[in-house]
Amino acid sequence: MVGHGKGCSIITSAVAIGFLGGCGLYVPALSEIYDGQDTQRMVNAVVEHVQCEVQTSVQFLLLDDIDAAAAASAAGLKQGRSVDWLNKWGAQSILTITVDEKSSLNPGVTFTPPMAPAVTQFPPNLTVTTPQSFSLGLGASASADATRKETLSWLIDFKRFTDKNSLARARVLRDQIYELAAISGGEPVAMLCNQQHGTLVQGDLKLKEWLYAATTPTFVRNGVASDYAKGLQAEAKASKKDVIAHEITFVILYSGNITPSWKLLRVSANTGSQPLLGAQRSRTQDLIISMGPLAETGPSQAQQNAALASQIGIAVANAIKGNN
């Protein structure tokens, strides 16, 4: 059954047109045929990539915060740490993969037997010829739709990689990556986390960009800081949010159809607007990362509420998309 589902992922290729009829008749495969890996490896690769970006972004942010505080202290400014509270936080990650496959069959035949034109005589000697025709159309339609949805949730505790030893090792790596990024113009986190895990399991989730924007305070107003130290403390306090949520959706869509048609003397087939055989496959990957302070038993209630709200929103959006 998995093999039939994989055939639907390449329906845009003329070589694979014979697989069209399998879409929606079997349980779809999560991975694409060109991924070159099975479902377990694909899911593990996605999880590893997410964990790499979360860990690297948090570590780099904490290290940059430590360096900023040290530089301010050396300059005689009373500036403490701004985001040291991240050490007590964690990330609730929820990955939802939805695969939908559809196929349709719309045969149509029209019978058009030839008929002699009608001849009408009018006095005195007027003859009028009128064409005559008769047609009988027969049509049918059938469709199949199969949807598979898998959800994976896991917790990333920042304490596992924000202790002094872990940050010391991360500092060496960060300095190397920053230097390479400055030379190549690449994004540091993406350069570090983009390992070869297969097609579409690499990229930049923009997690570092989002995390810095959400937690790093802005201390200068209109280019002038009236009281740098007080403004720093106020912004650092204000930036300590209960929950920070990041949501990403990737959609991969394939579709194809085939319509051979005939137009003969007495019969024509498949000359309408509907394709004879059509198929469509879509894979939607929804990733929710909600960060917040951890309770003794795991994510806080506010963190769980934020994740649930995002899941409901995704479900509604996917339902609307599926009905269109």
Amino acid present at 114: P
Residue 22 CA to residue 26 CA, distance in Å, equals 7
Query: What confidence score (pLDDT) does residue 301 get?
Result: 64
**Which pLDDT score, from 0 to 100, does residue 136 have?**
93
Interatomic CA distance for residues 214 and 226, integer angstroms: 23
Q: For residue 198, how many C-alpha atoms fall within 13 Å in the half-sphere facing its CB?
A: 19
How much is the pLDDT for 318?
64
pLDDT at 46: 83
Neighbours of 73 (CB within 10 A): 12
Q: Which residues pair with 97 in a beta bridge?
A: 150, 285
- Mean pLDDT for back-to-back runs of 10 residues, the chain (324 residues): 43 41 76 73 84 91 88 79 84 89 92 90 88 91 90 90 93 90 82 62 75 62 43 50 80 89 90 88 88 74 66 67 61
Q: Report the C-alpha gap between 146 and 284 in whole angstroms.
A: 14
What is the predicted pLDDT for the residue at 162? 93
| Residue 188 and residue 181 in contact, taking contact as beta carbons nearer than 8 Å | yes
pLDDT at 122: 86
Q: Which among 48, 10, 16 is positioned nearest to 31, based on CA atoms?
A: 10
